[in-house]
């Protein structure tokens, strides 16, 4: 088993975003593992990419907010 390390310290607002995304994804039949999202960089990227590709605007917006929180180094250049 690979060791897991937090991507970033999870702030209260980031945790709210994670839980929102979890329930929005569940409505589309996608399960989200909260602890893994916070500790596995590749899982977080794949999950957020999946959410960004779904046809539900609130879900895509939640994924974008969470990407800024968890993966700021992977944001496209502005």
CA distances from 36 to 58, 64, 65, 76 (A): 22, 18, 18, 23
Predicted TM-score of the model (pTM): 0.77
pLDDT score of 76:
57
CB 4 within 8 A of CB 37: no
Show pLDDT as tens, one digit a residue, over the chain (78 residues).
Answer: 555 555 455 667 788 999 999 999 999 999 999 999 988 989 999 999 999 999 999 999 999 999 988 887 755 554
pLDDT score of 12:
72
């Amino acid at each position: 088993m690979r060791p897991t390390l937090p991507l970033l310290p999870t702030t209260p607002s980031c945790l709210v975003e994670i839980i929102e995304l979890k329930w929005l994804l569940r409505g589309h039949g996608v399960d989200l593992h909260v602890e893994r999202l916070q500790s596995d960089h590749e899982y977080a990227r794949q999950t957020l990419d999946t959410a960004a590709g779904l046809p539900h605007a609130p879900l895509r917006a939640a994924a974008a907010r969470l990407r800024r929180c968890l993966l700021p180094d992977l944001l496209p250049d502005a």
